Amino acid sequence: MTEQNFTSMRRAMVESQLRTNDVNDVAVIRAILSVPREDFVPEERRAAAYIDRAVPLLAGRALNPPLATARLLTEARVEAGQSVLLVGAATGYAAALLAEMGARVTALESDAALATETRARLSGKADVTVVEGPLEAGVPAGAPYDVLFIDGAVELLSDALIGQVKVGGRVVFARIDNGVTRLCSGLRTAGGFGATAFSDAEAVALPGFAAPKSFRF
Per-residue pLDDT tens over the stretch 59-82: 789 999 999 999 999 999 999 999
115-141 b/e with 16+ CB inside 10 Å = b?
Answer: bebbbebbeebebbbbbbeebbebbee
Q: For position 215, what pLDDT does the model report?
A: 54
Question: Per-10-residue mean pLDDT for the chain, 217 residues long?
Answer: 86 96 96 97 94 91 96 97 98 97 98 95 93 97 98 94 97 95 96 93 94 64
Q: For position 22, what pLDDT does the model report?
A: 94
Q: For position 192, what pLDDT does the model report?
A: 87
Cα separation, 198 vs 191, whole angstroms: 22
Judge whether 208 and 110 are in contact, CB under 8 Å. Answer: yes
Cα separation, 143 vs 216, whole angstroms: 28
AA identity, residue 171: V
pTM of the model: 0.94
Judge whether 184 and 199 are in contact, CB under 8 Å. Answer: no
Q: For position 58, what pLDDT does the model report?
A: 83
Cα separation, 151 vs 64, whole angstroms: 7
Cα separation, 114 vs 81, whole angstroms: 26
CATH of 3-200, one of 3.40.640.10, 3.40.50.150, 3.40.50.1820, 1.20.1290.10: 3.40.50.150
For the chain, the domains span 3-200
